[in-house]
Amino acid sequence: MATRIAYAFLLLINSIISWLMLTPWALKKLEHLTLDYVNISCQGKQCYGYVAVQRVNFALGLFHLILSILLLGVKSSRDGRAALQNGYWGPKIIVWVAFIVMTFFIPETFFQVWGQYIALAGAMLFVLLGLILLVDLAHTWAEYCLEKIEEHDSKAWR
């Protein structure tokens, strides 16, 4: 349970950082911290941090992708590699922050292609999968309620 809360907290912090990246203040600070190496613009126009948000979320996605590859084949929490999932929070946070920093040195053209094609396809698949799971949940819940109605003939289940 604590691991789930920790990952939810990591997602919350990532979302807050992404939200802050939309502000002009964060963009100025980011350009200043990178010694003006990172100039956030979209095809010559100021894009108000959308590129920075893509970079922060790309870092979190890359972090989870690498973690999932490392945990392939782990069947239970007794497995030796399961400790990587449930523990080592200090090194995991350092790696996540390092990924965020690293993404700001990837050329902007990569993120233009990433945002227009790859992330769009991934978002469509994510929404489609969520829709399928939602319909499955509704179907399972309806079957459960019908079973209870037949068993108990109670008004509570109607």
CA distance 40 to 107: 11
Q: What three-state secondary structure class fits 79?
A: coil
Secondary structure element (H or E) that encloses residue 122, with its range: helix 119-152
CA distance 129 to 86: 26
Cα torsion angle, 5, 11, 12, 17, sign:
positive
Which tens digits make up the pLDDT trace of 68-90?
Answer: 898 888 887 777 777 878 888 88
Beta bridge mates, 42 = 45
pLDDT bin (cut points 50, 70, 90) of residue 43 is low
Q: What three-state secondary structure class fits 75?
A: coil
pTM for the full predicted model: 0.72
Asked whether the predicted pLDDT for residue 39 surpasses 80, the reply is no
Cβ-contact 64, 33 below 8 angstroms: no
